[in-house]
Amino acid sequence: MFEPLHTGADPEVGEHRHIIVTRSRVIVRGHGDTGSRSLHRHEAAGLLGRDPGDLLLGRLGDVHYWASHLDDNEPDLPDDHHLSDLRSLHGRLSDEEWNIAGRATQLVDWARDHRFCGRCGLETELASGMRAMRCPECGLTSFPRLSPAVIVLIERDDGRCLLGRNGLWDIPMYSTLAGFVEPGETLEDTVHREVFEEVGVRVTNIRYFGSQPWPFPNSLMLGFVAEYAGGEVVVDGEEVVDAQWFAPGELPMTPPTMSIAGQLIANWIERVV
């Protein structure tokens, strides 16, 4: 299991691996569509032109992982190195390193975006004893941003589930409904509100399914299953442009199981077929 750390690792002792991030993309070493990996210290140093290791991420077994920021948006890379976004790296990196790369992009972007105090404007510094940026003048402490969002599969007693198509997608994919938690809401409140806002129906018997960190850019997806309680499907026409009830044998294109949406759908199929 990965152990998050922010201090306590000597970069000169033991094995260390490095994730280089530029504009939420990462540099990996590998060939083709499989076998990519994170970088050794000397590989990262050669690309950065300096010592790597801006942020300690944590430890997986005996290996410590670090993240570094590269300002060059289109670096000149050796033939066996690739600059890729996280989605295209899924299946090329190991599952463990893909999750670590997601952690790296979020923390590098957070550190870059909090270089200066949002209250008084002075330059911040890494806080001691915790993962935070702190203003040495006014004391404002900024922790890494995390945006909780609910995602819900709605089932009906006739063996169908409700899936919607997002207006921003350029492919005909349908997925479970999702939305961000508002200040002052419980997770159940958010499920009720988002479902009604997006498709106009009411739900009941909300049950927790599981969670998934989702680094696009900094979400924590909290999965639920709910039962249809009433109402006609009427989409909002903006975020959701179409929504339909589907039986297991007539599903359209749906997300892969790398996402919690795909896992919710796969679990539903197992239960109703």
C-alpha gyration radius of the chain: 21
Is residue 268 located within the same domain as residue 152? yes
Residues in the chain, total = 273
Instruction: Show the domain range for 236.
Output: 147-272
Q: Where are the beta strands (DSSP E) in the chain?
A: 2-4, 15-22, 25-31, 34-37, 39-40, 55-60, 63-69, 81-84, 125-126, 133-134, 141-142, 147-155, 161-166, 177-180, 202-214, 219-230, 240-246
Count of C-beta atoms within a 10 Å radius of residue 97 = 23
Is residue 156 located within the same domain as residue 140? no
CATH code of 252's domain? 3.90.79.10
Over residues 29-59, the pLDDT tens digits come to 986 555 799 999 999 999 999 999 999 999 9
Is residue 19 located within the same domain as residue 101? yes
The CA distance from 251 to 231, in Å, is: 22
User: Angle 264-105-5 (CA atoms, 0-180°, nearest 5)?
Assistant: 95
Mean pLDDT of the chain: 94
Is residue 194 located within the same domain as residue 257? yes
Is residue 265 located within the same domain as residue 166? yes
Lowest mean pLDDT segment, chosen from 32-36, 89-93, 101-105, 108-112: 32-36
Write phi, then psi, for 30 (nearest 5 degrees): 160, 175
Has residue 5 got a pLDDT over 90? yes
Over residues 218-269, the pLDDT tens digits come to 999 999 999 999 999 999 998 999 999 999 999 999 999 999 999 999 999 9
> Which pLDDT value is given to residue 173?
97
Lowest mean pLDDT segment, chosen from 20-34, 116-130, 208-222: 20-34
DSSP 93: B
Count of C-beta atoms within a 10 Å radius of residue 71 = 9
Is residue 175 located within the same domain as residue 97? no
Q: What stretch of H or E contains 193?
A: helix 187-199
Report the domain count for the chain. 3
The CA distance from 235 to 133, in Å, is: 41
Take residue 177 and report the two structure tokens written for it. Answer: 């409904």
Q: Which residues pair with 243 in a beta bridge?
A: 164
Is residue 256 located within the same domain as residue 175? yes
Is the distance from CB of 190 to CB of 215 less than 8 angstroms? Answer: no
Is residue 184 located within the same domain as residue 122? no
